Structure 1
Amino acid sequence: MLSPELAPLFAALLGALCVSGVVVAVFYSRVGGRSEADKRLAAIAGWDGPTGRAAVSDEGSRKRSIETTLRDLEEQQKARRGVKPSLAIRIRQAGLDWSRNTYFVACFIAGGISFIAALTIFGIGLLPALCFGLAGGLLLPHLYVSRKRARRFKDFISEFPNAVDVIVRGVKSGLPLVDCLRAIAADAKEPLRSEFKAILEDQTLGVPMDQAVQRLSERVPVAEANFFAIVIALQSRSGGNLSEALGNLSRVLRERKKMEGKIRAMSSEAKASAGIIGSLPVVVACLLYLTAPDYISLLFTTLIGKVVLAGCAMWMGFGVLMMRKMINFDF
């Protein structure tokens, strides 16, 4: 037991120790604990989320990869632009299953029919009939293949936005790109069906997807197929949201189709005027032949008339080609 004299002193000492302990605890909580909290808060405040340094470096590398991919694709397009397609490629692009020998047989048949028609129907001489048959043999199969090729490209462009929409919906629903292409190859119209089947066959043989789609733009050299090949190549090499990229491509393709319709509507008057101007000399010559055959027959019976007729036909051909160049718009 403490004496009554030491009890107040001992109580004051215990109170001082308690107060000092509280002060030391508060001090350490302020200095040590608060500094750790400040560090954590500073780290959280300094974190920029997906746009931090690491993300910035990843974004920069992705941009460099995209630039490299675009540069490579542009160089490939420049290399292909200066090379005209061969006969076999043109026949393949026209959707015909001809071989080169079949094409040459068609040329021979067309030349023979043209020679016989010039010799019997028009009644011209042997040498002009031979020239007429040679021109028919060289020109008629070429025009047929070119027309089939242009029509096939037009059908492809018309149906291609629908195929891109199928891919967009399939990718958004979780399907792989190969399954979307397989659905198009099974259900789409020609020529999309055969072209996407060729992509799947290349993929089955081990060709990477970007190269297989790049071959599509080589088989069908239109801007729409080229855009699709660029989007797939960028996505396969640089990553990104494929459904969003293809959705933007689908909108671009449909806007191009609308623009084509507007251009066709705006140029219809010029095309009608060009058709009237180009057909007017032929119509007038036929009317003159019906009303005054002796007057116009000099063009066909005399040497000077034939020379004048040939010169007029040549200048009319130049005029028709010039008007065609003026009323055709590239976009």
Structure 2
Amino acid sequence: MLTMLFLMVMATVVPVFIFVVARPPAQRAFARRLSTVRGRYNVNGEPGVNEQVRKLLASRATVVRREKTLLNRFLPDPADVHRQIEAAGKKWTVQQYYMGSGVAFAVPLLLFVLLGLPLWMAMIVATAAGLGLPRLVLNILAKRRIAQFVTRFPDAIELLVRGLRAGLPIAETMGAVASEIEGPVGSEFQAVSDRMRIGRTLEGALQETADRLGTAEFQFFVITLAIQRETGGNLAETLGNLADVLRKRMQMKLKISAMSSESKASAYIIGVLPFVVFGLISFISPTYMAGFFADQRLMIAGMGGLIWMSIGAYIMRQMINFEI
């Protein structure tokens, strides 16, 4: 009976899990979107724009190549970890990250063993904690810093515009932005300025920052500068238009966030409610819920329920995650 129940749960959950996880790689979506934008706005086939598109694809090839396998999505790659740490603005090392993963793995494993729970259950929870918790914390810190960067980035572009209209070169205006604007914007522009001082080209220094941050706003800035250096034109006017577009983009994001706040609140309530009910029943009648930690059948059923809830949470997140 126990084996049949386990096989039924796995036969139902595994196909859905494979469908959710084995989505098209990120490089295909990036190439498809880039080709759509190129076909929409480059109807005359300007050679300078095409050349810059090829350069951008070539510069991002090393970053995209590591995302081809399904294994790399779960196991932390040292290069990806280092890039995420830099995006979060922390001074951690990759070794410290792996030490944190080891602690996150060992603590729940020892706790479950001391509580007398099955070893296979302890290994599953400990592995999920070791692989997921450090990455989750790092992603939260990186997203918080990137959100601060995006908020102040239009101000930095407008400061660049004023410096260019005053007759300063682009390198000196970036140094002025680094000294005048505090926070992530100033630190990133200071890093670009430092790379240029040691001999890096402007496009290379900016593209390295764009790959580390992974924001569309800074990528727009890099593409604007690259195309302007190939085709010419008024850089101050182009950057001024870009700053206006980024502000409107930010306003649209805030509007969409406000419109989808009700759906997000409903998703949070639906996701938390089973755990709240489980905790309340366990507090009122501990013996009634003790079977989930002793009976193998209830453990398998609980694991299947958690997997289904995770899939549902992922689907709800994708439904309320709008791309601008």
Question: Whole-Å Cα distance in 2 between the matches of residues 240 and 312 of structure 1?
Answer: 59
Structure 2 residues not aligned, in runs of 5+: 1-44, 68-79
Q: 1:88 is matched by which residue type in structure 2? A: H
Show the counterpart of 2:101: 107
Bigger Cα Rg:
1
Show the counterpart of 1:318: 311
Show the counterpart of 2:41: none
User: Which of 104-113 and 283-292 deviates more?
Assistant: 283-292
Relative distance call for 1:179 and 1:74 in structure 2 (3 A) is: closer
Relative distance call for 1:131 and 1:301 in structure 2 (3 A) is: closer
Relative distance call for 1:83 and 1:95 in structure 2 (3 A) is: farther
Give 1:242 deviation, angstroms: 0.7
Show the counterpart of 2:87: 93
Question: Whole-Å Cα distance in 1 between the matches of residues 282 and 149 of structure 2?
Answer: 46
TM norm structure 2: 0.74
Show the counterpart of 1:75: 57
Show the counterpart of 1:182: 175
Show the counterpart of 2:274: 281
Give 1:256 deviation, angstroms: 0.8
Question: Whole-Å Cα distance in 2 between the matches of residues 100 and 245 of structure 1?
Answer: 39
RMSD: 2.6
User: Which of 158-167 and 104-113 deviates more?
Assistant: 104-113
Question: Whole-Å Cα distance in 1 between the matches of residues 283 and 103 of structure 2?
Answer: 35
Aligned pairs for 1:159-308 within 5 A: 159-308=152-301
Relative distance call for 1:298 and 1:204 in structure 2 (3 A) is: closer
Relative distance call for 1:304 and 1:132 in structure 2 (3 A) is: closer
Question: Whole-Å Cα distance in 2 between the matches of residues 295 and 318 of structure 1?
Answer: 27
Aligned pairs for 1:19-38 within 5 A: none
Question: Whole-Å Cα distance in 2 between the matches of residues 145 and 311 of structure 1?
Answer: 28
Secondary structure at the aligned position of 2:65 is classed as: coil
TM norm structure 1: 0.72
User: Which of 131-140 and 198-207 deviates more?
Assistant: 131-140
Contact 2:175–2:189 under 8 Å retained in 1: yes
User: Which of 98-107 and 190-199 deviates more?
Assistant: 98-107
Contact 1:65–1:237 under 8 Å retained in 2: no
Show the counterpart of 2:111: 117
User: Number of aligned pairs?
Assistant: 269
Q: 2:258 is matched by which residue type in structure 1? A: A
Relative distance call for 1:290 and 1:139 in structure 2 (3 A) is: closer
Relative distance call for 1:88 and 1:286 in structure 2 (3 A) is: closer
Relative distance call for 1:187 and 1:78 in structure 2 (3 A) is: closer
User: Which of 191-200 and 210-219 deviates more?
Assistant: 210-219
**Deviation string, structure 1 residues 139-159 (Cα, Å, up to 9, x no partner):** 322222222222222221111
Relative distance call for 1:84 and 1:225 in structure 2 (3 A) is: farther
Show the counterpart of 2:10: none
> RCO greater where, 1 or 2, for CA within 8 Å and sep 6 or more?
2
Q: 1:107 is matched by which residue type in structure 2? A: S
Question: Whole-Å Cα distance in 1 between the matches of residues 243 and 171 of structure 2?
Answer: 18
Give 1:218 deviation, angstroms: 1.9
Relative distance call for 1:259 and 1:93 in structure 2 (3 A) is: same
**Structure 2 residue 59 is the aligned partner of structure 1 residue 66:** no
Find the partner of 1:140 among 115, 118, 133. Answer: 133
Question: Whole-Å Cα distance in 2 between the matches of residues 116 and 297 of structure 1?
Answer: 20
Structure 1 residues not aligned, in runs of 5+: 1-62
Question: Whole-Å Cα distance in 1 between the matches of residues 284 and 214 of structure 2?
Answer: 51
Q: 1:215 is matched by which residue type in structure 2? A: E
Contact 2:60–2:211 under 8 Å retained in 1: no
Contact 1:93–1:219 under 8 Å retained in 2: yes
User: Which of 311-320 and 73-82 deviates more?
Assistant: 73-82
Question: Whole-Å Cα distance in 1 between the matches of residues 243 and 194 of structure 2?
Answer: 25
Contact 2:164–2:236 under 8 Å retained in 1: yes
